[in-house]
Copies of this chain bind each other. A is one copy, B any other.
Amino acid sequence: MSRIGRQTFVYDRPPVVAAHRCVAGQKEGAGPLRDWFDAILEDDLLGQKSWELAESEMVRRCARDALDAAGLSAGAVQALLGGDLNNQIIATSFAAKKLSAPFIGLYGACSTFVEALVLGAALIDAGALQNALCCASSHFCTAERQFRFPLELGTQRPPQASWTATACGCALLKGVGEGIRVTAGTLGKVVDLDISDANHMGAAMAPAVFDTLTAHLTDTRQTADDFDLIVTGDLGWIGRDLLLQLCREADVDMPEDKLVDCGASLYYKEQDAHAGGSGCGCVASVSCGWIMKRIEAGELRRVLLSGSGAMLSPTSSQQGQSIPGIAYAVCLEGE
């Protein structure tokens, strides 16, 4: 593996995505991407007695399906890398317990899935692992309970608020085989432009996405022209506009028709999701479905996938702190 620039790894022996699976909740399964999900939940509680157990069960099922698709037993997984938005990442760690795989718990808020891809690919390229299961999830009901208000309160949401997706995505990386190759990854820095409105995540994260995307392009000496698509997750409609504005101001060429945001693509506007989808599961499920399937179909060849997270907590918000953002990026290439 080579490290170029300040933040980017180039994988000399690019790991492949041997299998990927995505699950979405009912609202997400009624949106424009419904045909791209591998499974749509019939019941967002998955027969469990709490939303938290439901989210964990969603992770377990999605991971199992990805392993089945790759013909791998849970016992053969060399590392599970992932996390979720729940305090102390309980959805993922409880699923890791059931899978009994070596576990690398991550927290990058909604950037976690891409953080897992960057690290998983690095460990495979290094020969430390032969396979790595990268996953991230979110659940509307666990997130609302924890970050905002109990659902029963029926609190009105401002127009710039995003909607936490009930969804999970799992990608099994392997050192050898066929599939989409992960050819480069860029670590993110924590960037804070002093946004303190916890209902306006797109604004808090756009500067971090700008920072990481430009770091990736600069480090690898590429421009937007070198990619068929640049995917962000999850800025929503407003955050996507802010990213385009930051690019214009810095003279970074970012053609609007090449920039797709997972959160801005997940729901129809009539679905009342306001600024769009968010949550670790949004970028994870959309990239494991819509994006990777289009690469496999030959429709896209080179995709720059970024995942961004808002590193706030209810405590930091209540204490009046601003919202730091972070973003990671990977380059995905078709065969």
Selected from B96, B130, B187, B319, the residue in CB contact (under 8 A) with A79 is B187
The answer to whether A128 touches B313, judged by C-beta atoms less than 8 angstroms apart, is no
A3 CB contacts on chain B under 8 angstroms: 78, 127-130
- Report Cα–Cα, A251/B314, bound state, in Å: 47
The answer to whether A50 touches B319, judged by C-beta atoms less than 8 angstroms apart, is yes
CB-CB under 8 A for A122 and B128, given A88-B109, A319-B50: yes
CB interface residues, A 23-51, toward B, < 8 Å = 49-50
A52 CB contacts on chain B under 8 angstroms: 315-316, 319
Selected from B93, B106, B192, the residue in CB contact (under 8 A) with A190 is B93
The answer to whether A101 touches B189, judged by C-beta atoms less than 8 angstroms apart, is yes
A105 close to B (CB within 8 Å): yes
A86 close to B (CB within 8 Å): yes
Selected from B94, B100, B319, the residue in CB contact (under 8 A) with A316 is B94
Nearest-Cβ distance from residue A75 to partner chain B, whole angstroms: 9
A321 CB contacts on chain B under 8 angstroms: 53, 90, 94
A85 CB contacts on chain B under 8 angstroms: 88
The answer to whether B315 touches A103, judged by C-beta atoms less than 8 angstroms apart, is no
Q: Interface code A80-108, partner B: CB below 8 Å = 1, 0 otherwise?
A: 00010111111001101100111111111
- Report Cα–Cα, A252/B191, bound state, in Å: 48
A16 CB contacts on chain B under 8 angstroms: none
The answer to whether A105 touches B103, judged by C-beta atoms less than 8 angstroms apart, is no
The answer to whether A127 touches B87, judged by C-beta atoms less than 8 angstroms apart, is no
Each complex incorporates copies of this chain amounting to 2
Nearest-Cβ distance from residue A306 to partner chain B, whole angstroms: 14
Selected from B108, B119, B191, B313, the residue in CB contact (under 8 A) with A87 is B313
Nearest-Cβ distance from residue A155 to partner chain B, whole angstroms: 20
A79 CB contacts on chain B under 8 angstroms: 187
Nearest-Cβ distance from residue A199 to partner chain B, whole angstroms: 16
The answer to whether A89 touches B107, judged by C-beta atoms less than 8 angstroms apart, is yes
A7 close to B (CB within 8 Å): yes
A261 CB contacts on chain B under 8 angstroms: none
Selected from B50, B97, B312, B326, the residue in CB contact (under 8 A) with A105 is B326
The answer to whether A103 touches B316, judged by C-beta atoms less than 8 angstroms apart, is no
The answer to whether A313 touches B88, judged by C-beta atoms less than 8 angstroms apart, is yes
Which partner residue on chain B sits nearest A11 by CB separation? B128
- Report Cα–Cα, A102/B219, bound state, in Å: 14
A129 CB contacts on chain B under 8 angstroms: 3
Nearest-Cβ distance from residue A332 to partner chain B, whole angstroms: 19
Contact sample, A vs B, 18 pairs, CB 8 Å cutoff:
A1-B126, A79-B187, A86-B315, A88-B312, A88-B316, A90-B315, A93-B311, A93-B324, A94-B190, A94-B324, A96-B190, A97-B190, A103-B190, A104-B106, A104-B187, A106-B106, A125-B126, A126-B128
